[in-house]
Copies of this chain bind each other. A is one copy, B any other.
């Protein structure tokens, strides 16, 4: 739609996130697998530690992925700006997330000077069977010298 412009490639975003979280196992990090203006798709590989009693993927894993997905998408549009911080995350849990690789589709709803808002949808089985939907707001640092 022409309203958003990418500043980084998917590879550059993935490399930046690995540098930002040096203690994380590369396997345990969500990875951007597709990137377009205003949209990113991420995959986080399934691991057994992700389950909660009942055999479904736990809420904190889903919330962490929503947050990471929004962060990656915003980085891709603002460039190497690691200081963005989450100010709000609203998560709707829609159905139990069956074990499997987690997919997240993140969409930029608004990118302002001071904040960015994303919509993130998460599933394991199929995008027609969403496990969760989130809205995530990041506060952006003011550019140096800005008023």
Contacts and interface: CB of A to CB of B under 8 A. Distances in A.
A105 B129 CA distance: 20
A6 B11 CA distance: 42
Nearest to A138: B93
Contacts of A59: 63-64, 67, 86, 89
A25 interface: no
B94 A110 contact: yes
A109 B128 contact: no
A87 interface: yes
Interface stretch (A28-36, A39-47, A72-80, A112-120): A112-120
A130 interface: yes
Contacts of A21: 52-53
A91 B88 contact: yes
A92 interface: yes
Contacts of A87: 92-93, 115, 137
Interface of A: 1-3, 20-22, 52-53, 59-61, 63-64, 67, 85-96, 109-110, 112, 114-115, 117, 119, 121, 127-130, 133, 135, 137, 139, 142-147
20 contacts: A3-B128, A3-B129, A21-B52, A59-B63, A60-B61, A60-B63, A63-B89, A86-B93, A87-B137, A88-B91, A88-B92, A89-B89, A89-B90, A90-B91, A90-B135, A92-B137, A119-B119, A144-B147, A145-B147, A146-B147
